[in-house]
Amino acid sequence: MWNYSKTVMDHFLNPRNVGVIEHPDGEGEVGSLACGDALKLTFTLDDDGRISDAKFQTFGCASAIASSSALTEMIKGKTLQEAETITNKDIAEYLGGLPEEKMHCSVMGREALEAAIAQYRGAAPEKRDIEGTVICKCFGVTDNEIERAIKENDLTTVEQVTHYTKAGGGCGGCKNLIEDILDKLLESQVTEKPATKQPTGKLTNIQKIQLIQDTISREIRPALQRDGGDLELIDVVGDQVLVALRGTCSNCPASSVTVQDFIQGKLREFVADSITVEEVAQ
C-alpha cells in the first residue's frame, strides 16, 4: 500500500474544482483511458490576465486525482507566465510528497497545464503533434518526454524513468532504449558541466550540509545506482558524515572500500579535506 501524505489523502477524498468550465480560455488534455491515466484541465482568465477559475476531470488513481486537484488550487490567481513556471516537483511538494512510483501523476498535471496554455495561445489541443520519437509504444512516451523527465528530476535509473513517465511499465521492450537515453544524458552532463572543486574559505554548517548533499546527488549517487546500489545521508556532525548504504551496496563485501575510498574521497574532493565518512545501520 502506498504511503500517502495527509494532504494527498485530503485532495483525493475532497478534490477541489472538479468539473469542466464552459467556454474556457484554455483547455488541455493529456493521457488516455487506454493507458490508465487521463486528465482534462480548463481555465478562465480575468480582465487582468490572471487565472480566475480552473477545473479538472481526471481518470486515474488517488495520486492522479490529488495532483490534479492541487494543480487547480496552485494556478488560481496567477498569470500564465507565473503558472507555466510550475513544475511537477512543485505539485508533489505542495502535496507533501508523492511515492516515487506515482510521480508520473504530477508530471501529467504539469503537461496538462502546458497543453491548456498552449491552446490558449493558439495550438488546438486535438491537433497537437507528438514531439520526438515514440520510445514506449505501450504508453506513447517519446524520447523528448523521457529526456525532460530525466533532466528536471535528476533521474539515473530506468526504474525511476518508469515512475516519472510510465515508459517501460508495460511490456518492458523499450527499457534498453531508455537505458541508452540515460547513458547519453549522464555522459553529456559530465562533459558539459564539470563539477566545481571544493570551495575556498570557511563554510557555515548550512553551506557544508548543502554542499555534501549536492556532491552526493551529483558525484556519488549516480555511480552507485548504476550498479544497483544507493546511498542515504543520515546525519552530519561537524566534519563527520553518517551514511547508510542501500541496494546492492548494503550487502557488498567491499562496502568499507566504497565508503572510505569512493564516498569519502569524493566528499573530501568537493567539500573539505577534513571530512570523514562513517557507515551506520539504519
Active site residues: 35, 105
What is the dihedral sign for C-alpha 157, 160, 162, 166?
negative
Answer yes or no: are the C-beta atoms of 142 and 70 closer than 8 Å: no
Question: In sequence order, what DSSP letters do the residues of 156-192 get, joined into one string?
Answer: -SHHHHHHHH-TTSSS-TTHHHHHHHHHHHHHHHHHH
Element spanning 266, H or E:
helix 264-270
Alpha carbons 93 and 108: distance in angstroms, whole number:
15
CA 266 to each of CA 11, 68, 235, 240: distance values in angstroms, whole numbers, following the listed order: 42, 40, 17, 14
DSSP annotation of 50: B
Answer yes or no: are the C-beta atoms of 232 and 242 closer than 8 Å: no
Alpha carbons 14 and 3: distance in angstroms, whole number:
18
